[in-house]
Every structure is written in structure tokens, then in C-alpha cells.
Amino acid sequence: MNHDGREVKGINIDMSSLKDHWDKRWKRVSYSNNSIIKLIDEKSTTECWRIYLQLLEEIALQEPKILELGSGSGRMSIQLLKKFGGSATLVDYSLPAIEVAKSNAIKAGVDKNVEFVNGDVFTLDRKREYDLVHSAGLIEHFSSERRDEIIRKHSSFACMEGYVIIMVPTKTWWYSIGRSILQSIGIWPQDFEVPLNGNELTELANRNLLTVKKTIESKGLARASAIIASPIII
């Protein structure tokens, strides 16, 4: 992938380098009360939550069993638990991210309803038992083949009557400027993110064992594309 987010054939992503970046990123959040990253995370959560509510406005979730893949700070699952109740499993391969999510869950008073899993989403072994499987800011960090695989993972964990939410950044001038600034100060990993518009995300989902019910392209701070879908069970 090059700097504007397009994939370049023949270039492989160094996954160990990417993991090192995320470990360092979440350690900054853990050890600083005035972190720029923490501020960005908190501000973007408000906009992302607004998108989630739009996607879920016609869905009757009651005490749902939730699975978040690439959970990071865990803020989206925490918001879901506060609104709908239920339980959540948060999965991230960065241990510092898991520690941040634990801290956030404790502060929100929902930690007793959360299972924290420090592991790789691609090797995660779970039953098809979740009412909602979701990720916000995950699939764009992988090559096209791995994106297909990880979307199918979302589908494989959702129960027959369950739902999947996937959110990714959308390519805009604001996104490009913000990304360049954050890369220059070492907060954003170089060349590891491919933004998608709503049509691209919908097409990806529909070809990977999901049936998209609604697509949203936000023009707010998050500048995100998001879908809610039902799993195709084969």
C-alpha cells in the first residue's frame, strides 16, 4: 500500500511491525493522562457511537451477547453494554490495548460483564453464539485477501438471528490531512491502512457471507463508512 491508502501489488505488510506499533500506541494511552491519542480516542468514540445508534435504530437488542474484534480501548462495547445490558467479549492481539479496555470497563462499571481475550482474531475459535459481532477500525489494516477472511470471521461468530457491524475510515481530504499529521509525529502507523467508501464496504461484506441491511457514510469527525448485516450460514 502506498501513502494514500491504495494497495500496491507485491508489497507485503510486516505484521510484527504493525503489532509493535499498536503495542506502543496503547502503552502511551496507559501511562499518560494527557495523551493526544487518548483525546482522539475519546472524541472519535462520540461520533462512532452516533453511527452505531443509527445502524441499530431498528434492531431490538435485549441483553445481547456481544463480540468485538480488534477491540482497542473497548469503548464501543462499553457503550453497547451501558445501553443494552448483556455481556461482551473483547479480543485484541495487543496486550496494552486489553489493559486499556479493562481500565475503561472498570471506570464504566461494566467490567464484571466483560471477558478480555488477548489473542489473534484470525486464529480465534468461538462458537456461532453472538447476538452482535462488531469491529470499528480493524479490517482496513489488512491486505485484500485478509480483509475477506476477517469479514468471514465476523459472520462465523454471529448466531442465526444475530447481526454484524463493521466500521472503517472513509477517504476524504480531512482524513488525508489528519493522517499525514499523525504519521509525522509517530501516532499513526505508516502504510497500514486502506480507507473504504460505503459502496466498497458493502460489496466486501456481501461477498463474504454477510447480507447488508444498512450502510452509512458519516461526514462527521469520524469520517467513517459502516454497515450492519446479517450472517449467511452455510
Q: What is the C-alpha separation between 69 and 91, in angstroms, rounded?
A: 5
The CATH number linked to 52 is: 3.40.50.150
Q: Where in the sequence is the domain holding 125, given as residue range(s)?
A: 35-231
The whole-angstrom separation of Cα 113 and Cα 64 is: 11
- Note whether residue 4 is domain-resident: no
C-alpha 63/C-alpha 73 separation (Å) is 22
What is the average pLDDT value for the chain, to the nearest integer? 85
Q: Is 123 domain-assigned?
A: yes
Structurally, how many domains does the chain consist of? Answer: 1
Q: pLDDT tens, 104-141?
A: 999 999 999 999 999 999 999 999 999 999 999 999 98
- Residue 219 has a pLDDT of 73
- Amino acid 150 reads I
Q: Flag whether 25 is in a domain.
A: no
How confident is the model over 57-68, as a mean pLDDT? 95
Confidence of residue 227 (pLDDT cuts 50, 70, 90): very high
Sign of CA dihedral 184, 187, 193, 196: negative
Residue 29 lies in a domain: no
Q: Which residue has the higher pLDDT, 229 or 20?
A: 229
Evaluate whether residue 6 is within a structural domain: no
Q: What is the pLDDT at residue 153?
A: 97
Q: 36-56 and 15-31 are packed helices; what angle lies between their axes, rounded to 10 degrees?
A: 100
In this predicted structure, the answer to whether residue 11 has a pLDDT above a threshold of 60 is no
pLDDT tens digits along 13-43: 556 677 887 888 788 766 555 456 566 667 7
pLDDT of residue 7: 42
Residue 22 covered by a domain: no
What percentage of the chain carries pLDDT values higher than 90? 62
Top-confidence range, 3-7, 15-19, 47-51: 47-51
Q: Is residue 42 part of a domain?
A: yes
